[in-house]
Amino acid sequence: ESNVNIGNMKVRRDKSKGEASMIIETDEIVSTDVLEKIKNLDEMIFVIEIKPVKENGNVQ
């Protein structure tokens, strides 16, 4: 729907039937609109965006 390419995704949970965490790495910066859609999903507790780290103008 939003044409976001997922480069990497990790999912884990601490215990059986416990809360799960998911880390998604995308190929490009995700738009504010897409982040809001994710944050508004009933299943989401919280969403954190981490901007890419740049060194000498290049994404590391």
Tens of pLDDT, residues 9-32: 999 998 998 889 999 999 889 999
> Could you tell me which of 47, 51, 53 has the C-alpha nearest to residue 34?
47
**Percent of the chain's residues with pLDDT above 90:** 58
**Percent of the chain's residues with pLDDT above 70:** 93
Domains of the chain: which residue ranges? 6-54
- The letter for the amino acid at 13 is R
* Residue 7 pLDDT level (bands cut at 50, 70, 90): very high
Q: Decide if pLDDT at 60 tops 70.
A: no
Instruction: Please state, rounded to an integer, the average pLDDT across all residues of the chain.
Output: 89
Residues belonging to the chain: 60
